[in-house]
Structure 1
Amino acid sequence: MTILGYARVSTEGQHLTGQLEALKAAGAEKIFQEKISGARANRPQLAKLMAALKADDVVLVTKLDRLGRSTRELLDLIERIGKAGAAFRSLGDPLFDTTSSQGRLVSTLLAAIAEFERDLIRERTGEGRKRAMAAGKKFGRKPKLSDYQREEAVKRRAAGESLASIAKSYAVDISMISRLAPGYRAPFEAADADA
């Protein structure tokens, strides 16, 4: 079993000294340290720590906010640590000690609450999308070409004009012109033809 410490401060002006001393006093054999904002997704030293984890290792931090800024990120990291067969411990937050049964219970409960919250958000978002679609709201990017331009491009293509020339005239990529189907009709014309 190896105790791996993780120390982080947000800016260059802050010092890691207090964290490093506390982690060493708690038995950390190797300490990954960085001066980087916790809001950044790319934290190289944290990535190295996660890659170095082996079964029965313990990840040690002085406070929970050193590991993750949001509850979701923190719980995801603790879950990844657990999946690696390792444990997590926070010196300043004794309830977060997955080496004990009480700590595992707290982590499991918080993970279940977070999952429940994600499901509620997903459900509300889906309902909101359905209501918006029923009200006529369109999702996605606006088309780069109008229906008239698409129809015109199809005619120009059928007349033998090069894809590059057509694309350049509309300031779009060649692939957009190449995807236009030869039988394309604007939606308003299709509706008139069906009537």
Structure 2
Amino acid sequence: MSVYGYARVSTKDQNLDAQLEALKAAGCSKILQEKISGKNREDRPALEKALSALKAGDVLIVLRLDRLARSSRDLLNIVDQISKAGASFKSIKDTWCDTTTAHGRLIMTVLAGLAEFERELLIARTSDGRERALDNGVAFGRKPKLTHHQRQEAIKRRASGETIVSIAKSYNVHHSMISRLVG
């Protein structure tokens, strides 16, 4: 079993010392650190390295949740990735967020359930809104590059023997669009 620590500050001017000290005191044998914004998870190589290193029985510790995730959805995704590796997660300052205990796992399960419920409500509201818009005549999708008249004209020009490429150039569209027109 390994105990990993993860420390992050957002700017080069900030200092990691307090986080590193707290993680060492918590028993972290390996600490991954970075000075980078938490905005994009994909752009955080030390976090990805820590997550990919986790094995069954390992623990990942952070000083505070905001060092790990920027939103509850991001936090739940990261904790899910940790649990799929068979590892646990712990926040030093946010003691309720500790999947090494039954109480902490319960709290995280409830939060994950709430997030899933919220997501399903969002999907239902979006679907209802889309149906209302369709009923009111709102057209979805990209605006057509050619009007109905231009399509009919292009079909006639193609039937009269004009090349697809020259027709496409005259309408400033790709030749594949003209070749898909059906007369």
TM-score (norm 2): 0.93
- 1:52-91 maps to which residues of 2 (within 5 A)? 52-91=53-92
Partner residue in 2 for 1:167: 168
| Greater displacement, 59-68 / 144-153 | 144-153
Q: Cα distance 1:59–1:175, how it changes in 2: closer, same or farther (>3 A)?
A: farther
- 1:84-99 maps to which residues of 2 (within 5 A)? 84-99=85-100
| Greater displacement, 93-102 / 17-26 | 17-26
Consecutive unaligned residues in structure 1, runs of 5 or more: 184-195
In structure 1, distance between residues paired with 2:176 and 2:16: 52
- 1:26-175 maps to which residues of 2 (within 5 A)? 26-42=26-42, 43-175=44-176
Corresponding residue SS for 2:33: strand
Partner residue in 2 for 1:16: 16
**What is the CA distance between 1:164 and its match in structure 2?**
2.5
| Greater displacement, 109-118 / 150-159 | 150-159
Corresponding residue SS for 2:41: coil
In structure 2, distance between residues paired with 1:155 and 1:41: 53
Q: Cα distance 1:28–1:177, how it changes in 2: closer, same or farther (>3 A)?
A: farther
In structure 2, distance between residues paired with 1:157 and 1:51: 57
> Deviations for 1:74-118, whole angstroms, at most 9, x for unmatched residues?
111111111111111000111111010000000000000000000
Q: Cα distance 1:2–1:144, how it changes in 2: closer, same or farther (>3 A)?
A: same
Identity %: 59
Corresponding residue SS for 1:160: coil
Length, aligned pairs only: 182
TM-score (norm 1): 0.87
Consecutive unaligned residues in structure 2, runs of 5 or more: none
| Greater displacement, 14-23 / 107-116 | 14-23
In structure 2, distance between residues paired with 1:148 and 1:122: 38
Q: Cα distance 1:157–1:50, how it changes in 2: closer, same or farther (>3 A)?
A: farther
